[in-house]
Structure 1
Amino acid sequence: MADTNSDIAVVAALNSSISDDNTASDTSTLVYSQEAFETYQDRVKEIAQKTWPGLEKDHISIERMHGGSYNRITGISFQTSESEKPQNYVLRDPRFPDLAPLTNQLAPLQFLYNYSKLPIPKMVSFNCSNDNALARPYIIQERAPGNSIIHEYPEMSHQSRLTAARQLGCFYNDLTLITGNRIGKLVPFNTDLTVPWTFDVQTFIERINESITLETGAYSSISAPDAAYQGLLRIFKYRYDADLADPYDFRAPYDSSFITMTKELYALGYLRNTPLTLCHLDLEVRNILVDPSNDIEPVSAILDWDSAVFAPVFMACTPPMWLWAWKEGEDEDEREANELPASTENQELKQVFEIAAGRSYMRFAYDPAYRLARRLVHFALFGIHSAEQEEEAEEMLKEWSEVKSKSPEERGE
């Protein structure tokens, strides 16, 4: 049986290693077995004409853009007699629609657009079926100005960095205020862009080649005080029973240890009265756009909400170390997140971000117990599928054994 998660990891690695846009698109055509851009762009023009009736085909410009592991991205632009400037949009075409349905993107985008003030590109149209010119699901959004901050940050002035840090801090704070009633992903109950959407929250776990739904219920912003604790226990107990029933499965002992760690976190107070909030699980620099021409709000958009879930609030409080400890693409060690930055400028960046991020961020960001709890929740949602993940689980459990043995004063309580 193929290990789908491993396949995706290989594809992601190939994709992330490509820097040149033309090379990326040519290579992606081969890696993903996708249609060549030369013919694909004509299909995109047909979609554009259907979305904006009356557009002449020759007036539509199609741009090949660098996509990600899960989406092919294409730019659409045109100018009408009514518009002073060109209208710019992007079409997102999921590479694995069976594995990652379009609803994974639709629900958080529309939820946030309707119920928050976060910088989310507006959704214009979508089609969840193959009954269209692309013969694939797609979504069209307004195109936010700017570029990925990964390219812009090294050249930004200190004042521009401070403005971006303050803006991102407010974004983190806003996320911690968007509460939910169960662990899981948003699922749209209705999909009509002309009326406010309603949503369900679907508790799920990823296994080797499928996503299993444990429960589904209507979204509510009100949850029980122990919803995080009880939700994690349900997920791990399901995993334990399923893995134990398979004599060839190696993961049951890990499931048992995860159940024990969950109970210990609760006993020590770390999962008590812990709200569930909306969490962007891929909030990396590549998914943050900045517009260098905007001095007031340089962060123009937060992208790739496919992975958004309701989870314990500490999942939304992972420190963005790159803001005050930029390492030119090197891996960050979260254990160093709360160390005093070496330069005065970086100290100021960290302080400005923290003030804007607010109390919840400061409570959940740096404590070693919450850092380990973030890893635990990740295992709850996505499981263990490789030897490398086994090693990560063992390291987490070993470090937790050390942390829990310390006195409250030593743990910084």
Structure 2
Amino acid sequence: MTKTSDAKAESNDSSHSTTPNSTSTYQYSHEPFETFRHKVEALAHDIGCKSVANVVRLPGGSFNRIVAVDLHSHDSASTVQQVVLRIPRFAKDGDSPNEDILNQYSILQAIVNFSIQVPRVLAYDCTSNNALGMPFSVQTRLEGQALHLAYEDMTVSERLNIASELVRTLAAMENMRFHSPGRLSCSGPVPNRRRIDELDDSSPSDILQIQGFGVGVGSFRSKPTAPKQTSLQELLGTQFDGWLQVELSNDPESWVADLWRRLKTIRDEMDELGFFEDRVSLNSNIIYHWDLEPRNIIINRHTIGPSSDVSVPHHVQITGVLDWDDALSVPPVLARKPPVWLWDWSDDETLPSPIRENYDGDVDLLPIELYNETSTRLSKEDLQVKQYFEAEIINKLYGDCSPASREAYLDDAYGRGR
């Protein structure tokens, strides 16, 4: 299931809490924003600034409320910093620290070392002992707009520019490696709260730890365990076994349990046939942003030439990637799904079967034959973008554009080979 992104918080105006069934006040039983904003303004002391002003509610995601504010520092009343406040919608009551806040901080801090543009955490509190009465994090507000708002109207040269920028981001992510697969989380011990004057850009090498994935959903979801898998086949086997047990515990006659049994059989047969050869490595896990879609990519468009000439091209730059919640460490073969939105995406509902903004990334439904040179699905320009991206990413990942490297990438990206 696709989570609703926080990216729209970078590009939309505030909404009012007086419209039934359209805001978090009604949908999530939140406090009306008219009173809640005063609590946000009272956060100045808790986060270590002089004052909080211009509090504006922004459309949030399924799991976080998003509020835009201006921070005035103690040094000068004229020094203003635009930030966003991220507040978990479903923070549990009680004295236990909110692990999601600590995990977000740790993941973003660790990513900074790998030339990936992400929001910077300026302050956070994973407890409810503050003016809000709930956990929160304060993050820099990225400059630009969400890519999904602009991509459809971009020229071919601008789309190629985005493809090049995306390759740079993906290559940087492949350089962020881990010893085992699992969920990324805070390694601890990390303070439960930090003010603006207590955080810096330093990123300790041990700020992240790997936990097991866990299985189940909702109240049946198991807590992540210590990772024990050191190979792709062990990872799949453990997950399939876990999900099978969840289904059987819920319903001993579950037909879904049979599906998990069939997947286990397939995995065993693949192992016997050697499909996992060359995949066994303790150092073959990379960071995976499982929702790397246009809604989570922030861009800036810079005019090349006289700004008064509307026909001049633009240079498009990715200024950041949002929504790293629940980032994973996985073998590259599980992370290299093709960004089909680069060449097959539209919000125009009159077009036949486009990949829409809310597409969930299930590339199993998009076989490579859908996009080969003889297919009529893509226009000449779309095909140009696809071929350019593939040439660039293959060269980055394999160091050349040889036929063997191309075949290896397409096998991983489209699941057409081992």
- Find out whether 1:334 has 2:343 as its counterpart: no
SS at match of 2:134: coil
CA RMSD of aligned residues (A): 3.4
What SS does the corresponding residue of 2:36 show, helix, strand or coil? Answer: helix
Normalising to structure 2: TM-score of the pair? 0.73
Q: How does 1:1-400 map to 2 (within 5 A)?
A: 22=15, 26-53=22-49, 55-56=50-51, 60-78=53-71, 86-98=80-92, 101-113=100-112, 115-190=113-188, 191=190, 193=199, 196=204, 197-208=206-217, 209-213=219-223, 215-216=225-226, 224=230, 227-244=231-248, 248=252, 250=254, 251-274=256-279, 275-293=284-302, 298-328=317-347, 330-331=354-355, 333-335=365-367, 338-340=371-373, 342-358=378-394, 359=397, 366-367=410-411, 371=414
The alpha-carbon deviation at position 261 of structure 1 amounts to 2.2
CA pair 217-325 structure 1, distance change in 2 beyond 3 A: closer
Give how far 1:64 is off.
1.4
Letter in 1 for 2:213: F
Match of 2:196 in 1: none
Q: In structure 2, do the counterparts of structure 1 residues 203 and 320 end up closer, same or farther at CA, with 3 Å as the change threshold?
A: same
Where 2:100 maps in the other structure, the secondary structure is coil
Does the 8 Å CA contact 1:182/1:228 hold for their aligned counterparts?
A: no
- Which secondary structure state, in structure 2, belongs to the residue aligned with residue 236 of structure 1? helix
Which has the larger helix fraction?
1
1:262 and 1:105 map into 2 onto residues whose CA distance is 33
Deviation at 1:351, TM superposition (A): 2.7
Relative to 1, partners in 2 of residues 1:56 and 1:90: Cα closer, same or farther, differing over 3 Å?
Answer: closer
Q: Separation in 1 of the partners of 2:58 and 2:380?
A: 38
Query: What is the TM-score of this pair, normalised by structure 1?
Result: 0.74
Secondary structure of the residue aligned to 2:42 is helix
**Whole-angstrom CA distance in 1 between matches of 2:253 and 2:289:** 31
Confirm or deny: 8 A CA contact 2:343 2:378 kept in the other structure.
Answer: no
Q: Which digits, 9 at most, give the CA deviation of each residue in 1:3-22, with x for residues without a partner? A: xx9xxx8x969xx9xx9852
- Matched to 1:288, the amino acid is I
**In structure 2, what residue type is equivalent to 1:39?**
T
Structure 1 CA distance for aligned equivalents of residues 224 and 159 of structure 2: 43
Runs of 5+ unmatched residues, structure 1: 373-410
Offset of 1:202 from its aligned partner?
A: 0.6
1:307 Cα deviation after fit: 2.8
Report the Cα distance in structure 2 between the residues aligned to 1:95 and 1:276, rounded to whole angstroms.
31
Residues 23 and 249 of structure 1, relative CA distance in 2, 3 Å threshold: farther
Q: Give the % identical residues.
A: 25
- Residue 378 of structure 1 is matched in structure 2 by none
Q: Label 1:347 to 1:40 Cα distance change in 2 as closer, same or farther (>3 A).
A: same
Maintained 8 Å contact 1:204/1:211: no
| Cα shift at 1:71 | 0.8
Bigger shift: 287-296 or 41-50? 287-296
Select between 179-188 and 300-309 the one with higher mean Cα deviation: 179-188
SS in 2 for 1:292: strand
Task: State the shift of 1:41 in Å.
Answer: 1.4
Give how far 1:163 is off: 1.5
- Residues 107, 208 of structure 2: 8 Å contact kept: no
Q: What is the rounded CA distance, in whole Å, between the counterparts of 1:106 and 1:362 in structure 2?
A: 37
